[in-house]
Structure 1
Amino acid sequence: MTGRQRVLALSADEEAERHAAVADLVALGTAALPALMDELRDDASSVTETALLSVLCGIGASAFDPVLGVLQSAVPGSHWRALRVFTRLGTPVLPGYLRALAHGDPFVRRAAVMGVDGCGEDALPVANLLVPLLGDGDEEVRRVAVRAFCSWGAAVVPLLQSVRRDGPGAARGGALECLAEIDGENAISAHDRAALERLVQIKLMDDIPVPILCCFLSWIAVSTGNQAGVMEMLGLSAAYPVPFSVGVNAADYDSHGGLDDDPHDRYRRVFVTPELAGWTLVVGSWCDPSAAEREAAVLEACERLSARYGRAQAYWYGAQNDGSAVLVAERGETLRRLAYIPGDDTQHLELGVPLAYEQERRTALGLPALTAEQLEVDQDDDEWMWELLEMATKLAGELSIDPLSIDTGTPVRGVGLLALTEYGRSLGAPCGALRLEEKPVLHAFAVS
């Protein structure tokens, strides 16, 4: 049986035959590598990456350079198979990964960092050799280096703190980002906190509003410029000023939370905008009027806010046709609440009578008017389903302010604030780094 035949046997129908092929190829050792590399190069091969890895990991460190050769010769668009195998060779090839960290091709350097990261705790004794990559001239390499240090967590905090003190200078920014991600303010020196606060204060001097673009966007809009009053009524605390773009970044970052141990993680913090054309927006998943954990509290909050300020609205919007939810309150009463989230039963959220905007849109689409007795919509009514998907932002544009349309022409007064909710006070402020142009900004730091 030729080497190629043995390699092709890795995709045999019978499990026993596949296991025998792995054993045969491992026994052949380096003699099997040419045929294995031919198969690794072939994107259309029936031999899976997992099967190739079983053999290559069995062969050991001598497989590293041949796989590296395939990775280097792969053309853009056809390199993913080689990349996935290269980065999963594991601890036995760790010395090879370390050599490749200095490779002239940034694609190879990035793959080497990913490989080191894949070695887990086995790589901790050589973590210092990745420090220069935190300041790599290629942004993708720098990003995967940051990700690697973050994955090691508290074990590398002393090393990162020493980089902040002693350099190398190019790596200091990446080290700060890692420290912010691993343990937030607790890992940051007083000197660094003060520097970040000064940077934020400088940026606030000529801050401008930007569109609030989030994958999952939730917000409460209140018809007032009394930012402090809104925060007091909502029980928000520990607020500190941030540039508008940083607040948007925080809202987007947080909206992807809740997938780990605590499903309430995404409710810890909100961004409270400055006054925008007479409105104050509170932005964050905590404001979602359709979330099971929050729907009653958001309704009650909007009614209280509207009793004091006249009008308050809450919205949820999924940017990838995920749906919309809206809640409109005036003078202490909820006028309307509805939601359309494909695949979810939202009928229990339905409150009030159809708004004039809803009826106008149905008329424009040539659809019959909704009535208080018949709010349900025919699921086959595609035109209205598409309308409902965009209802949150379009209705906000009519009744208050569309967050997607905020720009430099939007009248603004004051500065934005990041503030903790009751979840943030009990669970702690989020760790992590938010981007302010080229510099990371802590998720939580005090501004005096």
Structure 2
Amino acid sequence: MTTDHLVLALAAPDKAEREVAEDALAQLGPAALPALMEHVRDAASPVGPEALLAVLRRSGAPVFQPVLDTLLGAAPGRATWRALRVFTGLGAAALADYTDALTHEDPAVRRAAVLAIRECGADGLAVAEHVLPLLGDPDAEVRSTAVRSLSTWGTAVVPLLQAVRHAGPGAARAGALEALAEIGGEDVLSARDMAALERLVRIKLPEDLPSPVVCCFLSWIAVSTGDQSGVMDLLGLSAPHPVPFAAGVLAADLDSHAGLDENPLDQYRRVFVTPELAGWTLVVGSWCDPSSAEREAEVLEACVRLSARYGQAQAYSHSAQHDGSAVLVSEQGTVVRRFAYIPGEDTRHLELGAPLPYEQRRRTALALPSLAAGHLLTEEDEDEWEWELLELAPGLSAELSLDPRSIDASTLARGTGVLALTEYGRRLSSPPGALRL
């Protein structure tokens, strides 16, 4: 069997055949490298990067330079991704080479070296100081990758970053500030650094414009008023910090992933309160989710109070991954409608009130019978109506108030958005997370 046939066998359906091919290629060592590199370059190869890496890690051959050469010569598109994955996956054995590559003339190699060191985890932490200069790299993507990578090491690199803030190099100071904010927020930032962040915000605010509110897990409350301070007061929000619109959206997106970690309450510590947008104020963050097990009663009560003062208040949640959608509509202090569709074993419809005209029109458009209160999915309409329910929040909000995803620079805006702490934030402390300005 030729070397190329052995490489192709790494993609064989039979596990035993794959293992035999991997063993044979590993024993070939340097002799197998040309064939392996051909498959790293070939976007159409059926052999995945992980299978190629399994051989490269075992071969005992000097693989770093061939892989680097392949990365530098890869064609655009998927081939580049394959080469990048193999380059960054060589592991701790290649740490010295990765460290040398941090100063490579090609920014794509510098960025890949940072990613590779990050993938080495605790082993990579040992060379983290060599990544620090790239916080001031002339290439924006390299700088951003350095910030994110250092942030993943958490508090272990805080002293290194604080030293950069104090003594330079000067070009790396801004990146060090962003990484510190990402790791620990106010808890690891000096008063001087907090002031620097606030100055940067003030510089950017005069030219700030609204942008689409897009999050993986998007929850928000819409209130028919421009009284931002009144809305915050009624909701018990505190410590507002003015932020550019896009930075507020990003903070809400980052926070929405916090509930996937050890403490599910972390996602509720902070919200983004928008400026007035076409007559509405939006409060954005997981804290606003009307279907959250921890928050559903409080969100309902908050919307009742808001609508009693301002006429209309609505709460929504929507998953970009089609994990569910929920709506709550209140008017003049009364809940008009609440409905949630969360597919899976823990489905909870939380239904209150009669179906809204919007729901009935969508049923008509799909040639489905009208809804009655308490109607759940039936076999006849399950598939079509299920997909409609997954988009219920953005669809209904577009009719009754604002679909946050459709907000853009043309949306009439007045005032400045703020990040504010909820009761969870006051109790658990302000969340980490950089304002990526």
TM range (shorter): 0.7 to 0.9
**Contact 2:186–2:430 (CA under 8 A) maintained in structure 1:** no
Matched to 2:305, the amino acid is R
Equivalent pairs counted in the alignment come to 434
The aligned counterpart of 1:434 is: 435
**Contact 2:273–2:420 (CA under 8 A) maintained in structure 1:** yes
Q: Deviations over 1:25-59 (max 9, x none)?
A: 55554344344444544555566544543443334
2:130 is aligned with 1:126: no
The aligned counterpart of 2:57 is: 57
**Contact 1:60–1:93 (CA under 8 A) maintained in structure 2:** no
How far residue 8 of structure 1 moved from its aligned partner, in angstroms, is 6.3
How far residue 277 of structure 1 moved from its aligned partner, in angstroms, is 4.0
The CA RMSD over aligned residues, in Å, is 3.3
The aligned counterpart of 2:161 is: 160
Matched to 1:215, the amino acid is C
**Contact 2:243–2:416 (CA under 8 A) maintained in structure 1:** yes
1:69 and 1:202, CA in 2 relative to 1: closer, same or farther beyond 3 A?
A: closer
**3-state SS of 1:79 partner:** helix
C-alpha separation in 2, matches of 1:411 and 1:47: 52
C-alpha separation in 1, matches of 2:52 and 2:226: 62
C-alpha separation in 1, matches of 2:19 and 2:256: 44
How far residue 91 of structure 1 moved from its aligned partner, in angstroms, is 2.2
TM-score, L = length of structure 1: 0.83
Matched to 1:310, the amino acid is G
Q: Deviations over 1:320-351 (max 9, x none)?
A: 65553211122332111123345576563111
2:70 is aligned with 1:70: yes
How far residue 180 of structure 1 moved from its aligned partner, in angstroms, is 1.2
The aligned counterpart of 1:441 is: none
Q: Deviations over 1:236-288 (max 9, x none)?
A: 22222223332222222222331111122221111122333443322111111
**Contact 2:161–2:180 (CA under 8 A) maintained in structure 1:** yes
**3-state SS of 2:315 partner:** strand
C-alpha separation in 1, matches of 2:378 and 2:337: 20
C-alpha separation in 2, matches of 1:161 and 1:344: 47
**Contact 1:216–1:318 (CA under 8 A) maintained in structure 2:** yes
**Contact 2:254–2:433 (CA under 8 A) maintained in structure 1:** no
Q: Tell me whether 215-224 or 12-21 shows the greater mean CA deviation.
A: 12-21
Q: Deviations over 1:387-416 (max 9, x none)?
A: 544432343343334434444554544332
Q: Tell me whether 291-300 or 374-383 shows the greater mean CA deviation.
A: 374-383
The aligned counterpart of 1:91 is: 92
The aligned counterpart of 2:199 is: 198
Q: Tell me whether 361-370 or 295-304 shows the greater mean CA deviation.
A: 361-370
Matched to 1:238, the amino acid is A
C-alpha separation in 2, matches of 1:258 and 1:319: 16
1:211 and 1:58, CA in 2 relative to 1: closer, same or farther beyond 3 A?
A: closer
**3-state SS of 2:349 partner:** helix
Matched to 1:305, the amino acid is L
C-alpha separation in 2, matches of 1:339 and 1:60: 56
TM-score, L = length of structure 2: 0.85
C-alpha separation in 2, matches of 1:27 and 1:368: 67
How far residue 352 of structure 1 moved from its aligned partner, in angstroms, is 0.8
2:146 is aligned with 1:145: yes
2:420 is aligned with 1:414: no
How far residue 62 of structure 1 moved from its aligned partner, in angstroms, is 1.9
Matched to 1:30, the amino acid is P
Matched to 1:297, the amino acid is E
The aligned counterpart of 1:440 is: none
C-alpha separation in 2, matches of 1:175 and 1:57: 33
How far residue 18 of structure 1 moved from its aligned partner, in angstroms, is 3.1
**Contact 1:11–1:18 (CA under 8 A) maintained in structure 2:** no
**Contact 1:60–1:92 (CA under 8 A) maintained in structure 2:** no
The aligned counterpart of 2:375 is: 375
**Contact 1:313–1:326 (CA under 8 A) maintained in structure 2:** yes
**3-state SS of 2:318 partner:** strand
Q: Deviations over 1:407-436 (max 9, x none)?
A: 455454433221111222232222121222
Q: Tell me whether 42-51 or 188-197 shows the greater mean CA deviation.
A: 42-51
Q: Tell me whether 212-221 or 41-50 shows the greater mean CA deviation.
A: 41-50
The aligned counterpart of 1:228 is: 229
C-alpha separation in 2, matches of 1:410 and 1:43: 43
C-alpha separation in 2, matches of 1:178 and 1:172: 10
2:175 is aligned with 1:174: yes
C-alpha separation in 2, matches of 1:11 and 1:397: 48
Q: Deviations over 1:182-234 (max 9, x none)?
A: 22122223222112212223433454433433333211122334333322332
**Contact 2:248–2:417 (CA under 8 A) maintained in structure 1:** yes
Q: Deviations over 1:82-127 (max 9, x none)?
A: 3322222222222222222222332222222222223333333432
Matched to 1:172, the amino acid is R
2:231 is aligned with 1:219: no
Which structure is larger by alpha-carbon Rg, 1 or 2? 1
Matched to 2:275, the amino acid is P
C-alpha separation in 2, matches of 1:74 and 1:159: 35
Quote the sequence identity (%): 65
1:346 and 1:188, CA in 2 relative to 1: closer, same or farther beyond 3 A?
A: same
